[in-house]
Structure 1
Amino acid sequence: MVSLADVRAWDHAALDEVFSVLQIRTQILIHDGDDYGKIVPVEGWSGPAADNAAAQHKTHMQALDAYAAGAAALGKAVGQASDAIVAVQSAIYNADELARKYGFAIADAGGIADAYAGKQPPPDLNPDDRERIHTQLVDEIAQILRTANDLDADLASVLDRAAAGQFGTGNESTVAAAAADGLAAPGITASEPPPNATPSQASAWWATLTPAERDILIRDRPGTVGAMDGLPGSARDRANRAVLAQQETDLRRQREDIQRRMNGLKMSDPQQQTEHHDLQSQLDRIDGRLSELDKVGKALAQPGSRQLLVLDGGGDHLKAAVASGNVDTARNIVTFTGGFGSSVNGDLLDYDKRMDQIRQDADDLSERYGHGGKSAAVTWMGYDAPQSVDVLGTGKAEAGAGKLAPFLQGLDASREGDPARQVALGHSYGSTTTGIALRHAGADAAIFAGSPGIDTGNITDLKVPPGQSYVLKNDGDPVATSGWFGKDPVDMPGVHHMSTDRSYPADGPPLDATSGHSSVDQYLRPGTTSQHNIAAVVADTPAQLTLQDQPGFEYRMPGGR
């Protein structure tokens, strides 16, 4: 077993030199070996001596083939190992930097020491952030050592096999062919992701892979990569787009096959009528799924940058998450969760349009009044939202929160030591889902719109900093007044009540009031006080909020009025 000190001391430059020498020696073997292969048989030479020479020549050629195959395989493995060492040592460097930033130090034995043990950390180091980073560092060191041990074992295996002459068939027609066989043999393989990986563990695993290994995984196992919370948005997007295309191709092929079978049936035959009915049901399901995939494709094709972060075909309905902007580089990320009746087929395009506008407005507010950082807006439809009487219970919300929480954690973990400011936004039943998720995953701010309750009466149950929870409640919204899933967030101490009335910003046109329960047509509608407030929370420009806080519902207008 290798130690962290061993990995720190590994010299990839030495392997680069070995790689260069092996390439040169392999080319010499190929050139001289194939020349040697041509000297026998000698024209006109026959008899016992010729037969003996031919036998010896064949033995020599088999040895040359084994040498060339082994040298080619070893050269490939050494080159891969050198690249892998760079990736692993880069992961160590990044872990060291992250540790220093949060007041930790990584020992050569792999332990993590607290620089502030017994002392009070500086006030800018949030205790919750330090706890999260400590967990992340533990996962990163464990994965670095896991990858390093896999690498060490793989390279040792190639060395042993090359020494034993186990590469190539020994019956290639030329030495060049033998070298090609050796080059085609498996060399250093990417380490497998940890089983049941947490977002932090998945991020740590990805960090230890070389760019070539990542590309191969996205190409060969897009479903695995696309589904892993904790991986960069760019990687998940590439993988999920590949899955999207493959699913569409497979479904269209299945549809054509079913249609051919249906066309060949005789409707006058009762048995074939039954078969026709069953096939029609299959066809309807396929058409429904194709329609859902089409909506995802149309969302990705909208103007501006989009990332496909989730594509889950399990269950009766497709689940997806589409980001407007770049979650890998954005300073702020808002994740929106819809509620009762929401679906990819019915709502993704409208939700995406509204969230994209919020992103643009947040960028404008940030540029004018804030830190100038860019935002990304995620439309998260990664759970089976209730479609019927199941809306009366929290079962779907709890199941959805079980998926939303690791998604939010993954957005943080994928950013290494540069996490974005995360805002969780939930509407209606989606606010209940969001509230439950925030008991397990942290966010820098939370917004509950048209909420029937967040399954708790105490905002401190959520992993949200004090003063960073907000509620929007329209006049005439029966769901928001129901208190079906707990205390109305408007009445919770520590929750800011943002106005949805008509308002008059100091430096812009009036903003319209909203009413009723709709998300797309009301709470998220551009040009409204509600939508403006959401964008201001995302942009982290609190002076631009219009609050209606208790006591007395006293307005605080944009600009501090």
Structure 2
Amino acid sequence: MLGWAQVVRWRPDRLQQAVGLINAEYNELTACSDDLRGIAVPDGWSGPAAGAAMREARRIARLLDEWAAEIAAARRAIGDVGDAITGVVHGVEEAEALATRYGFRIGEDGAVIDPGMPAGVPEDQRETVARDRAAMAMELADRVGEVLRQAEDIDSDFCLVLDRILSGHTLDVDPARTSLAAAGAAGDALGSLSILAPPPDGDPARNAAWWASLSRNQQLVLIRDHPELVGNRDGVAAWARNEANLAMLPRERDRLRQEYDRVLAQSDGGLPKALQLLGIQAKLDSLDAIDAMMHLPDGTVNPERQLLSLDLTGRAAKAAIAHGDVDTARHVAVFTPGMNSAVDQNMAGYVNDMEHVQRGAEKLARLRGDGGSVATVTWLGYEPPAVPVDGKGMEAGKAVADLLDGSAAQDGAEKLARFNEGINASRPDDPHLTALGHSYGSLTTGIALQRNTGVDDVVFFGSPGISDTPDLPVNPVGLNNELSSLQVPSGHAYNLSAEGDPIAHDVPQLGRYGSSPATMPGMQQLSTHEAISPDGQRLVAAHGHSEYTEVLADGTESTSVYNIQAIVAGTPQVAITEAR
């Protein structure tokens, strides 16, 4: 079994150099082409000597075929191993860089060594730091494990090819029916290495470690041949998820059209089949909506957007679309919409709202912050309930019961937590990550943040509550919903409650989803009223449940969207707080 001390010494250089030398030998051999097969006994020559000459010519031809296959197999295998080792080297470098950044060491046996709490950590932060270090130790162990798993897979595949070569069983075809070129092609196919399958448990940290241990060529092959293994895998780089999901769009459309035709052919005119057809059509409409969001008017892919998830399981389509580069942005925000949200109905509006937030936050970061770039993600990776709010009607296939029992939020929170963890795990650095949750999406976000997801700031707006545990009897201070249940740094949770918003002001009084974020001790309350920004910009008030990201036709922003941008940009000092 391979150990960490061995793998850290792996280098692809000599193997890559050997490919060139072997290729020269192979070309020299194939230059003979099939001349030997054209050798025939001269006319008129017969007898024992002629027969012996013919048999010898055929024997040499068989040897050349096997030799060509062996050389081709070795060339392909050595080339593939050299390429695969570049992924192992990258995985080792990422693991060791992370260990160094957070004050860990990786021993020669692959064990993660924690020298203990760094000196000078304030007492009120020690619990948070200890929790973060424990999570990082687990991530480092996952990375070491995936690098070793990849190394074992490479070693095993290479040994299988070498065994076939050494045993003389590289060519399993009739030599009388082949040529040197065909023999070489057969050997080349035999010499190809498999690509390591993703970890079975799908943990974001392990997914990130697996992806980092693959070579670039292996990654591209997976995206081309098996995009379904890449697109929705939390922890994989955003560029790869985007390419894989874009590749899945036409495949899923073809699959749904075939399913629609099949159900239509079986339809007896009854209600069950009719509802099934409506559900399939809604998913087809969702694919059209995603296509429109991801492409420019001229039909080309919008280079500023990334399709980070595409999920057609369940009753409704689910997706996540980013504006900006999630792989490189210094500041990343993940927005979770709430009630009445659906991919085929209003996701495009949310994506456009987040595009405005991205641009505004980037401007604030440039003028008042660290100057870092910003990416925003509209995450609709769950099926929120639909209720009549602000004149909106009920959506087909959803029920008010979803709003009352909270199951949609609990299911969505698990997926959202993994998505946020995946953003952090997929990057070698530590981006400033902000969670944004509106309405039922704030509940989903609050539940997700009860585990360590790497989120640095959170903004709730139009929130009915942020806990899946009822606060009964109703207590404005909150019996079970203190901010300590959220795993975000102290002082980094914010709330916006607009006037005239029944979800933010009335629903929390029921206590179903904990105490009201508007009165929760420690929650930073941001203004939604008319105001003037620190740089003199006039801001308008937000009213009701649906104006938190409002921007007027003339470009005037609401105070609430300005405040959201300030938190996303990492510039809370310019946010406008609610008057006490």
Q: Give the alignment's TM-score, normalised by structure 1.
A: 0.90
Corresponding position of 1:524: 549
Tell me the CA shift for residue 47 of structure 1: 3.3
Tell me, in whole angstroms, the C-alpha distance in 1 between the residues paired with 2:35 and 2:485.
Answer: 78
1:71 aligns with 2:65: no
Tell me the CA shift for residue 258 of structure 1: 7.1
5+ residue gaps in structure 2? 297-301, 387-398, 468-479, 552-556
Corresponding position of 2:404: 392
1:58 aligns with 2:86: no
- Structure 2 counterpart of 1:298, which letter? A
Q: Specify whether residues 118 and 533 from structure 1 end up closer, same or farther in structure 2 by C-alpha distance, changes over 3 A only.
A: closer
1:319 aligns with 2:308: no
Corresponding position of 2:564: 534
Tell me the CA shift for residue 28 of structure 1: 2.3
Q: Is the 8 A contact 1:65 1:170 kept in 2?
A: no
Corresponding position of 1:80: 80
Tell me the CA shift for residue 35 of structure 1: 3.0
Tell me the CA shift for residue 205 of structure 1: 0.3
Select the residue among 419, 428, 442 that pairs with 1:431. 442
Tell me, in whole angstroms, the C-alpha distance in 1 between the residues paired with 2:535 and 2:331.
Answer: 24
Corresponding position of 2:554: none
1:167 aligns with 2:170: yes
Tell me, in whole angstroms, the C-alpha distance in 1 between the residues paired with 2:439 and 2:215.
Answer: 43
Q: Give the alignment's TM-score, normalised by structure 2.
A: 0.88
Corresponding position of 1:286: 280
1:447 aligns with 2:439: no
3-state SS of 2:455 partner: coil
Tell me the CA shift for residue 367 of structure 1: 0.9
Q: Is the 8 A contact 1:498 1:546 kept in 2?
A: yes
Please list the CA deviations of residues 412-455 of structure 1 after superposition, one character each: whole Å capped at 9, or x if unmatched.
00012x12111111111111100000012231001111111111
Corresponding position of 1:299: 293
Q: Specify whether residues 431 and 9 from structure 1 end up closer, same or farther in structure 2 by C-alpha distance, changes over 3 A only.
A: same
Tell me, in whole angstroms, the C-alpha distance in 1 between the residues paired with 2:246 and 2:233.
Answer: 14
Q: CA RMSD for the aligned pairs?
A: 2.2
Corresponding position of 1:141: 144
Tell me the CA shift for residue 281 of structure 1: 5.3
- Structure 2 counterpart of 1:148, which letter? A
1:151 aligns with 2:175: no
Corresponding position of 2:574: 544
Corresponding position of 1:512: 540
Tell me the CA shift for residue 233 of structure 1: 0.5
For 1:1-400, list aligned pairs within 5 A. 1-32=1-32, 34-114=34-114, 116-117=115-116, 120=119, 126-168=129-171, 169-171=173-175, 172-185=177-190, 187-252=192-257, 274=268, 283-301=277-295, 305-387=304-386, 388-389=399-400, 390-400=402-412
Identity of aligned residues (%): 37
Tell me, in whole angstroms, the C-alpha distance in 1 between the residues paired with 2:44 and 2:432.
Answer: 84
Select the residue among 421, 430, 437 that pairs with 1:419. 430
Corresponding position of 1:270: none
5+ residue gaps in structure 1? 263-272, 555-561
Tell me, in whole angstroms, the C-alpha distance in 2 between the residues paired with 1:132 and 1:230.
Answer: 15
Q: Is the 8 A contact 2:518 2:525 kept in 1?
A: yes
Q: Is the 8 A contact 1:304 1:324 kept in 2?
A: no
- Structure 1 counterpart of 2:170, which letter? F
Please list the CA deviations of residues 46-76 of structure 1 after superposition, one character each: whole Å capped at 9, or x if unmatched.
3333233222322221121111111101111
1:486 aligns with 2:514: yes
- Structure 1 counterpart of 2:504, which letter? A
Select the residue among 479, 490, 493 that pairs with 1:469. 493
Tell me, in whole angstroms, the C-alpha distance in 1 between the residues paired with 2:573 and 2:303.
Answer: 28
Q: Is the 8 A contact 1:334 1:376 kept in 2?
A: yes
- Structure 1 counterpart of 2:239, which letter? S
